């Protein structure tokens, strides 16, 4: 067999011509069809490389093309001279080589998504100008205020000032934290929550402030958010998401969809989860910061328990779970905080009153003060106080305690 059947496209119209192709005089390709004949020197032609058994294409100098089934004659007419092409062609003919290349591609893709993208994102975050991160944070805050239901805080000025003072104490001495700021928002639709925005802004909702019973729980939550700020977690997580979306969009051929990353940041902050690595870093930072400021790290565990109890109540009523929906809680995190609290108690026995389980009556004998505090709390809550134990016969003298306290 010296000729091959082919389909000829002249490059001027969509009409197809059935032709026979053969080698003529060793250096010319002759095309013959119904009322059609054409000779072209081989040096003016180019052929598509072999790929499995797909059809081969021969391009002519004037833009015309020949489409023909793969056949060994084509390789004889157009012998490969490039060593790389010869090597690739040889690999493509071996099933084991094809399978190995697929495995290499899959492993490379896995490495890129799980290690390459995080590494590249972190390097970019390190070099990101502070003004760019701040601008991103401002845009995210504007979107939260506009679309996420955040409203001006209803906390009174005195309460806000007190919490701002505690926040200033927490961030004092932290490198690069001079411009970190705390903002208050009323978010009935979101519930108790705290968010670390890119650029140093921490947002805390009125609902979280009202939920906790001790400001040291707020300190613990804010210390955790400051940990996210110090490690630039919001920016790094955004960049990682951007890289994944951009790479996926490149494979899909729709790079324009990557522009939706910035718009999606508020949704991530409210509903998404930081990676376990980022949460662990923020937890460790919070526990270390609380201890340095003279507050037991056990207050972080106490804050998690308070939020966990709130979540349980909201699950029963079907409402939003708030903080823990964007900060996934695990038993390990609480146990780590408790362990850090025990270590703090051993290292600072003089600060035993900083423990969440400190009992003034049992440990310091300040029972009258404890009862007075309870009475004051109940008066605020309009509850009844059992004073039977406090009533004494006015005719009977109270025994004198021989051991002064």
Instruction: Tell me the per-residue pLDDT of 177-222, one tens digit each, with 9 for 90 and over.
Output: 998 999 999 998 888 999 999 889 999 999 999 999 999 999 999 9
Average pLDDT over residues 13-41: 86
For residues 231 and 53, the model is more confident at 231
Predicted confidence band at 321 (pLDDT cuts at 50, 70, 90)? very low
For residues 125 and 397, the model is more confident at 125
For residues 11 and 322, the model is more confident at 11
For residues 12 and 15, what is the distance between their CA atoms, to the nearest angstrom? 8
pLDDT in the model for residue 258: 46
pLDDT in the model for residue 326: 46
Predicted confidence band at 308 (pLDDT cuts at 50, 70, 90)? confident
For residues 68 and 322, the model is more confident at 68
Q: What is the mean pLDDT of the chain?
A: 79
Whose structure tokens read 């081969």? Answer: 56
For residues 374 and 358, what is the distance between their CA atoms, to the nearest angstrom? 15
* CA terminus-to-terminus distance, the chain: 116
In angstroms, the Cα distances linking 334 to 245, 301, 375, 397 are: 34, 5, 32, 50
Question: Of all residues in the chain, what percent carry a pLDDT higher than 70?
Answer: 75
Decide if 181 contacts 257 (C-beta within 8 A): no
Q: What is the DSSP letter of 115?
A: I
Average pLDDT over residues 221-242: 87
pLDDT in the model for residue 86: 66
- The predicted-structure confidence for 132-179, as pLDDT tens digits, reads as follows 888 888 888 888 888 888 999 999 999 999 999 999 999 999 998 998
For residues 246 and 16, the model is more confident at 16
Of the listed ranges 9-13, 50-54, 126-130, 275-279, the one predicted with least confidence: 50-54
Decide if 281 contacts 227 (C-beta within 8 A): yes
- The predicted-structure confidence for 332-390, as pLDDT tens digits, reads as follows 889 999 999 999 999 998 888 888 888 777 777 777 655 555 555 555 455 554 444 44
Decide if 311 contacts 322 (C-beta within 8 A): yes
For residues 74 and 68, what is the distance between their CA atoms, to the nearest angstrom? 9
> For residue 189, which of 145, 139, 226 has the smallest C-alpha distance?
145
- The predicted-structure confidence for 78-103, as pLDDT tens digits, reads as follows 876 667 666 766 676 677 877 888 89
Angle in degrees, 0-180, between the axes of helices 130-147 and 261-271, rounded to the nearest 10: 70
Average pLDDT over residues 6-35: 86
Residue 272 has pLDDT above 60, yes or no: no
Pairing of strands 181-186, 201-205: parallel
Average pLDDT over residues 234-255: 65
What number does CATH give the domain 3-91? 2.30.29
For residues 188 and 205, what is the distance between their CA atoms, to the nearest angstrom? 9
Predicted confidence band at 1 (pLDDT cuts at 50, 70, 90)? low
Residue 55 has pLDDT above 70, yes or no: yes
The two most distant CA atoms of the chain are separated, in Å, by 138
Tokens of 73: 């004659």
> For residue 33, which of 20, 14, 15 has the smallest C-alpha distance?
20
Predicted confidence band at 62 (pLDDT cuts at 50, 70, 90)? confident
Decide if 326 contacts 272 (C-beta within 8 A): yes
Residue 301 has pLDDT above 70, yes or no: yes
pLDDT in the model for residue 391: 46
């Amino acid at each position: 067999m010296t000729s091959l059947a082919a389909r000829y496209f002249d490059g001027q119209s969509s009409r197809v011509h059935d032709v026979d192709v053969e080698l003529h005089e060793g250096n010319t390709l002759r095309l013959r069809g119904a009322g059609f004949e054409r000779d072209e020197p081989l040096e003016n032609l180019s052929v598509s490389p072999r790929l499995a058994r797909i059809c081969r294409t021969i391009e002519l100098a004037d833009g015309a093309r020949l489409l023909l089934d793969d056949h060994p004659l084509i390789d004889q007419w157009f012998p490969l001279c490039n060593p790389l092409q010869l090597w690739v062609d040889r690999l493509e003919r071996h099933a084991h080589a094809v399978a190995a290349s697929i495995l290499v591609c899959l492993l490379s893709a896995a490495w890129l998504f799980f290690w390459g993208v995080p590494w590249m994102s972190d390097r970019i975050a390190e070099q990101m100008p502070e003004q760019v991160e701040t601008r991103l944070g401002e845009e995210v805050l504007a979107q939260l205020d506009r679309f996420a239901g955040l409203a001006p805080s209803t906390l009174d000025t005195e309460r806000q000032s007190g919490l701002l003072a505690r926040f200033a104490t927490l961030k004092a001495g932290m490198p690069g934290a001079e411009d970190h700021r705390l903002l208050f928002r009323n978010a009935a639709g979101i519930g108790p929550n705290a968010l670390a925005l890119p650029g140093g802004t921490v947002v805390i909702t009125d609902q979280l402030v009202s939920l906790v019973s001790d400001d040291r729980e707020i300190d613990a939550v804010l210390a955790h958010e400051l940990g996210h700020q110090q490690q630039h977690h919001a920016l790094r997580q955004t960049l990682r998401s951007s890289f994944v979306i951009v790479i996926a969009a490149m494979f899909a051929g729709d790079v324009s969809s990557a522009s939706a990353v910035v718009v999606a940041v508020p949704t991530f902050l409210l509903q998404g989860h930081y990676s376990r690595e980022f949460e662990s870093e923020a937890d460790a930072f919070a526990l270390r910061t609380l201890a340095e400021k003279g507050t037991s790290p056990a207050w972080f565990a106490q804050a998690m328990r308070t939020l966990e109890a709130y979540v349980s109540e909201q699950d029963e009523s079907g409402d939003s779970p708030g903080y823990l929906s964007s900060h996934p809680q695990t038993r390990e995190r609480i146990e780590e905080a408790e362990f850090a609290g025990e270590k703090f108690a051993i290292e600072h026995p003089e600060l035993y009153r900083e423990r969440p389980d400190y009992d003034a009556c049992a440990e310091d004998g300040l029972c009258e003060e404890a009862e007075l505090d309870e009475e004051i709390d109940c008066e605020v809550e309009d509850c009844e106080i059992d004073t039977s134990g406090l009533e004494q016969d006015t005719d009977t003298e109270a025994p004198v305690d021989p051991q002064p306290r």
